[in-house]
Protein backbone atom coordinates (compact mmCIF):
# COMPACT_ATOMS: atom_id res chain seq x y z
CA UNK A 1 0.00 0.00 0.00
CA UNK A 2 1.54 3.37 -0.98
CA UNK A 3 2.49 5.70 1.86
CA UNK A 4 0.42 8.37 0.10
CA UNK A 5 -2.72 6.33 0.86
CA UNK A 6 -1.95 6.40 4.58
CA UNK A 7 -1.25 10.12 4.40
CA UNK A 8 -4.47 10.73 2.47
CA UNK A 9 -6.46 8.75 5.04
CA UNK A 10 -4.88 10.72 7.89
CA UNK A 11 -5.56 14.07 6.19
CA UNK A 12 -9.15 13.01 5.51
CA UNK A 13 -9.67 12.35 9.21
CA UNK A 14 -7.87 15.52 10.29
CA UNK A 15 -9.34 17.98 7.79
CA UNK A 16 -12.78 16.39 7.78
CA UNK A 17 -13.27 18.00 11.18
CA UNK A 18 -16.36 19.99 10.24
CA UNK A 19 -18.04 16.82 9.03
CA UNK A 20 -17.01 14.97 12.22
CA UNK A 21 -18.36 17.73 14.43
CA UNK A 22 -21.67 17.66 12.58
CA UNK A 23 -21.98 13.86 12.65
CA UNK A 24 -20.67 13.17 16.14
CA UNK A 25 -21.34 16.41 18.01
CA UNK A 26 -24.48 15.13 19.71
CA UNK A 27 -22.83 11.91 20.84
CA UNK A 28 -19.76 13.74 22.17
CA UNK A 29 -21.97 16.22 24.02
CA UNK A 30 -23.94 13.38 25.62
CA UNK A 31 -20.74 11.61 26.63
CA UNK A 32 -18.95 14.73 27.86
CA UNK A 33 -21.12 15.15 30.92
CA UNK A 34 -22.29 12.73 33.57
CA UNK A 35 -24.73 13.03 36.41
CA UNK A 36 -24.30 11.46 39.82
CA UNK A 37 -26.03 12.35 43.04
CA UNK A 38 -27.97 15.11 41.35
CA UNK A 39 -24.79 16.88 40.26
CA UNK A 40 -23.55 17.23 36.72
CA UNK A 41 -19.93 17.58 35.75
CA UNK A 42 -17.43 17.12 32.98
CA UNK A 43 -16.04 13.65 32.62
CA UNK A 44 -12.32 12.91 33.09
CA UNK A 45 -10.19 13.33 29.98
CA UNK A 46 -9.29 9.65 30.23
CA UNK A 47 -12.89 8.80 29.38
CA UNK A 48 -12.56 10.73 26.13
CA UNK A 49 -9.43 8.77 25.32
CA UNK A 50 -11.43 5.60 26.03
CA UNK A 51 -14.21 6.69 23.67
CA UNK A 52 -11.71 7.34 20.89
CA UNK A 53 -9.80 4.12 21.55
CA UNK A 54 -13.01 2.11 21.18
CA UNK A 55 -14.10 4.08 18.12
CA UNK A 56 -10.75 3.65 16.36
CA UNK A 57 -10.72 -0.06 17.25
CA UNK A 58 -14.02 -0.42 15.37
CA UNK A 59 -12.56 1.45 12.39
CA UNK A 60 -9.50 -0.84 12.39
CA UNK A 61 -11.68 -3.96 12.56
CA UNK A 62 -13.80 -2.72 9.64
CA UNK A 63 -10.65 -1.84 7.69
CA UNK A 64 -9.22 -5.31 8.26
CA UNK A 65 -12.47 -6.87 7.06
CA UNK A 66 -12.55 -4.67 3.95
CA UNK A 67 -8.91 -5.46 3.20
CA UNK A 68 -9.58 -9.17 3.66
CA UNK A 69 -12.55 -9.07 1.30
CA UNK A 70 -10.57 -7.12 -1.27
CA UNK A 71 -7.60 -9.49 -0.97
CA UNK A 72 -9.58 -12.17 -2.81
CA UNK A 73 -8.84 -10.21 -5.99
CA UNK A 74 -5.11 -10.70 -5.39
CA UNK A 75 -5.19 -14.50 -5.08
CA UNK A 76 -4.99 -15.23 -8.78
CA UNK A 77 -3.57 -13.57 -11.88
CA UNK A 78 -6.90 -14.31 -13.56
CA UNK A 79 -8.46 -11.70 -11.28
CA UNK A 80 -6.11 -8.95 -12.45
CA UNK A 81 -8.95 -6.93 -14.05
CA UNK A 82 -10.70 -6.89 -10.66
CA UNK A 83 -7.47 -5.76 -8.97
CA UNK A 84 -7.17 -2.93 -11.45
CA UNK A 85 -10.83 -2.01 -11.00
CA UNK A 86 -10.44 -1.80 -7.21
CA UNK A 87 -7.34 0.34 -7.63
CA UNK A 88 -9.10 2.75 -9.98
CA UNK A 89 -12.10 2.92 -7.63
CA UNK A 90 -9.81 3.79 -4.71
CA UNK A 91 -8.20 6.63 -6.66
CA UNK A 92 -11.58 8.00 -7.75
CA UNK A 93 -12.74 7.93 -4.12
CA UNK A 94 -9.56 9.84 -3.16
CA UNK A 95 -10.41 12.52 -5.72
CA UNK A 96 -14.00 12.75 -4.44
CA UNK A 97 -12.71 12.98 -0.86
CA UNK A 98 -10.44 15.82 -1.92
CA UNK A 99 -13.34 17.67 -3.52
CA UNK A 100 -15.42 17.10 -0.38
CA UNK A 101 -12.70 18.41 1.93
CA UNK A 102 -12.37 21.46 -0.31
CA UNK A 103 -16.11 22.07 0.02
CA UNK A 104 -16.70 21.56 -3.71
CA UNK A 105 -18.62 18.27 -3.78
CA UNK A 106 -20.92 16.40 -1.40
CA UNK A 107 -21.29 13.10 -3.25
CA UNK A 108 -19.58 10.97 -0.58
CA UNK A 109 -22.39 11.73 1.85
CA UNK A 110 -24.63 9.48 -0.24
CA UNK A 111 -22.72 6.55 1.29
CA UNK A 112 -24.06 7.42 4.74
CA UNK A 113 -27.54 6.27 3.80
CA UNK A 114 -26.26 2.72 3.31
CA UNK A 115 -25.13 2.52 6.94
CA UNK A 116 -28.44 3.62 8.41
CA UNK A 117 -29.76 0.04 8.60
CA UNK A 118 -26.82 -1.14 10.71
CA UNK A 119 -26.86 1.95 12.93
CA UNK A 120 -30.51 1.45 13.84
CA UNK A 121 -29.50 -1.90 15.37
CA UNK A 122 -26.38 -0.56 17.10
CA UNK A 123 -27.87 2.63 18.56
CA UNK A 124 -29.99 0.85 21.22
CA UNK A 125 -26.83 -0.92 22.44
CA UNK A 126 -25.10 2.43 22.84
CA UNK A 127 -28.01 3.69 24.92
CA UNK A 128 -27.58 0.73 27.28
CA UNK A 129 -24.03 1.73 28.28
CA UNK A 130 -25.02 5.33 28.98
CA UNK A 131 -24.37 7.15 31.21
CA UNK A 132 -20.74 6.10 31.24
CA UNK A 133 -19.29 5.74 34.74
CA UNK A 134 -15.98 3.94 34.16
CA UNK A 135 -13.25 3.53 31.58
CA UNK A 136 -14.46 0.11 30.44
CA UNK A 137 -17.87 1.54 29.62
CA UNK A 138 -16.17 4.42 27.80
CA UNK A 139 -14.25 2.02 25.54
CA UNK A 140 -17.40 -0.03 24.89
CA UNK A 141 -19.40 3.11 24.08
CA UNK A 142 -16.64 4.26 21.73
CA UNK A 143 -16.60 0.89 19.95
CA UNK A 144 -20.34 1.20 19.29
CA UNK A 145 -19.94 4.85 18.29
CA UNK A 146 -17.55 3.66 15.57
CA UNK A 147 -20.51 2.19 13.68
CA UNK A 148 -22.18 5.59 13.21
CA UNK A 149 -22.90 6.03 9.47
CA UNK A 150 -20.20 8.34 8.11
CA UNK A 151 -19.41 9.10 4.49
CA UNK A 152 -15.75 9.72 5.33
CA UNK A 153 -15.37 6.33 7.03
CA UNK A 154 -17.14 4.52 4.21
CA UNK A 155 -14.99 6.24 1.60
CA UNK A 156 -11.81 5.13 3.34
CA UNK A 157 -13.27 1.63 3.61
CA UNK A 158 -13.71 1.59 -0.17
CA UNK A 159 -10.02 2.48 -0.41
CA UNK A 160 -9.24 -0.38 2.02
CA UNK A 161 -10.74 -2.86 -0.45
CA UNK A 162 -7.85 -2.17 -2.81
CA UNK A 163 -5.06 -2.58 -0.24
CA UNK A 164 -4.69 -6.32 -0.81
CA UNK A 165 -4.84 -7.56 2.76
CA UNK A 166 -6.35 -7.32 6.22
CA UNK A 167 -3.27 -5.73 7.80
CA UNK A 168 -3.05 -3.08 5.09
CA UNK A 169 -6.77 -2.31 5.36
CA UNK A 170 -6.51 -2.04 9.14
CA UNK A 171 -3.51 0.31 8.82
CA UNK A 172 -5.45 2.58 6.46
CA UNK A 173 -8.38 2.92 8.86
CA UNK A 174 -5.98 3.39 11.78
CA UNK A 175 -4.41 6.33 9.95
CA UNK A 176 -7.88 7.79 9.36
CA UNK A 177 -8.88 7.26 12.99
CA UNK A 178 -5.74 8.95 14.30
CA UNK A 179 -6.51 11.89 12.03
CA UNK A 180 -9.92 12.33 13.65
CA UNK A 181 -8.50 12.41 17.19
CA UNK A 182 -7.61 16.12 17.52
CA UNK A 183 -11.01 17.42 16.45
CA UNK A 184 -13.09 15.00 18.50
CA UNK A 185 -10.94 15.15 21.64
CA UNK A 186 -10.88 18.92 21.54
CA UNK A 187 -14.60 19.04 20.80
CA UNK A 188 -15.22 17.06 23.96
CA UNK A 189 -13.31 19.70 25.92
CA UNK A 190 -14.82 22.73 24.17
CA UNK A 191 -11.55 23.83 22.54
CA UNK A 192 -12.15 25.80 19.33
CA UNK A 193 -8.71 26.77 18.02
CA UNK A 194 -8.02 23.71 15.84
CA UNK A 195 -11.56 23.55 14.49
CA UNK A 196 -11.44 27.27 13.68
CA UNK A 197 -8.21 26.68 11.77
CA UNK A 198 -9.56 23.73 9.77
CA UNK A 199 -12.69 25.72 8.85
CA UNK A 200 -10.69 28.38 7.03
CA UNK A 201 -11.38 28.28 3.31
CA UNK A 202 -7.72 28.24 2.28
CA UNK A 203 -6.99 25.31 4.60
CA UNK A 204 -9.94 23.33 3.22
CA UNK A 205 -8.94 24.10 -0.36
CA UNK A 206 -5.28 23.18 0.23
CA UNK A 207 -6.13 19.93 2.02
CA UNK A 208 -8.70 18.97 -0.60
CA UNK A 209 -6.27 19.71 -3.41
CA UNK A 210 -3.58 17.59 -1.73
CA UNK A 211 -5.87 14.58 -1.29
CA UNK A 212 -7.34 14.89 -4.80
CA UNK A 213 -3.83 15.20 -6.24
CA UNK A 214 -2.91 11.88 -4.61
CA UNK A 215 -5.83 10.26 -6.40
CA UNK A 216 -4.86 11.85 -9.72
CA UNK A 217 -1.26 10.72 -9.24
CA UNK A 218 -2.47 7.18 -8.57
CA UNK A 219 -4.42 7.16 -11.84
CA UNK A 220 -1.43 8.62 -13.68
CA UNK A 221 0.77 5.83 -12.34
CA UNK A 222 -1.67 3.34 -13.82
CA UNK A 223 -1.64 4.71 -17.35
CA UNK A 224 1.94 5.89 -17.78
Q: 74 lies in a domain?
A: yes
Specify the pLDDT at position 54.
94
At 66, the pLDDT band (50, 70, 90 cuts) reads very high
- In this predicted structure, the answer to whether residue 186 has a pLDDT above a threshold of 80 is no
SS3 36: strand
Specify the pLDDT at position 35.
41
At 191, the pLDDT band (50, 70, 90 cuts) reads very low
Q: 38 lies in a domain?
A: no
Average pLDDT on 145-165 reads 86
Q: 33 lies in a domain?
A: no
Q: 141 lies in a domain?
A: yes
Query: Can you give the pTM of this predicted structure?
Result: 0.79
Q: 37 lies in a domain?
A: no
Identify the top-confidence range among 101-105, 113-117, 220-224. 101-105
**Mean pLDDT rounded to a whole number for the chain:** 78
At 105, the pLDDT band (50, 70, 90 cuts) reads confident
- In this predicted structure, the answer to whether residue 58 has a pLDDT above a threshold of 60 is yes
As a whole-number percent, the residues of the chain with pLDDT over 90 amount to: 17
What would the DSSP string read from start to end of 127-158?
HHTPSP-SHHHHHHHHHHHTTS--HHHHHHHH
Classify each residue of 197-221 as buried b or exposed e, where b means 16 or more C-beta atoms within 10 Å of its C-beta.
ebeeeebbeebbbbbbebbeebbee
State the Cα–Cα distance between residues 141 and 136, nearest whole angstrom: 9
- The 10s digit of each residue's pLDDT in 8-51 is 889 888 877 655 555 555 566 666 555 443 345 566 778 888 98
Specify the pLDDT at position 80.
64
Sequence-ordered list of residues with C-beta below 8 angstroms from that of 25, at least 6 positions apart, any chain: 187
State the Cα–Cα distance between residues 142 and 71, nearest whole angstrom: 28
State the Cα–Cα distance between residues 30 and 214, nearest whole angstrom: 37
Specify the pLDDT at position 36.
46
Q: 153 lies in a domain?
A: yes
Q: Which domain holds residue 17?
A: 3-28+45-223
Average pLDDT on 131-147 reads 88
At 63, the pLDDT band (50, 70, 90 cuts) reads very high
Q: 142 lies in a domain?
A: yes
The better pLDDT of the pair 48, 194 is held by 48
Q: 40 lies in a domain?
A: no
The better pLDDT of the pair 162, 183 is held by 162
The total number of structural domains in the chain stands at: 1
Specify the pLDDT at position 204.
76
Amino acid sequence: MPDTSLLAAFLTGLLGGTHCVGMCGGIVAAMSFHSEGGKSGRQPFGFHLGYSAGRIASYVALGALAGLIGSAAFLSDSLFPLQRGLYVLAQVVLILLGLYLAGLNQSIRVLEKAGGVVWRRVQPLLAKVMPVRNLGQAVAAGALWGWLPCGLVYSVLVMALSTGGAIEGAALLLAFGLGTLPNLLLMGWAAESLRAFTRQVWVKRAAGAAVAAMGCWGLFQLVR
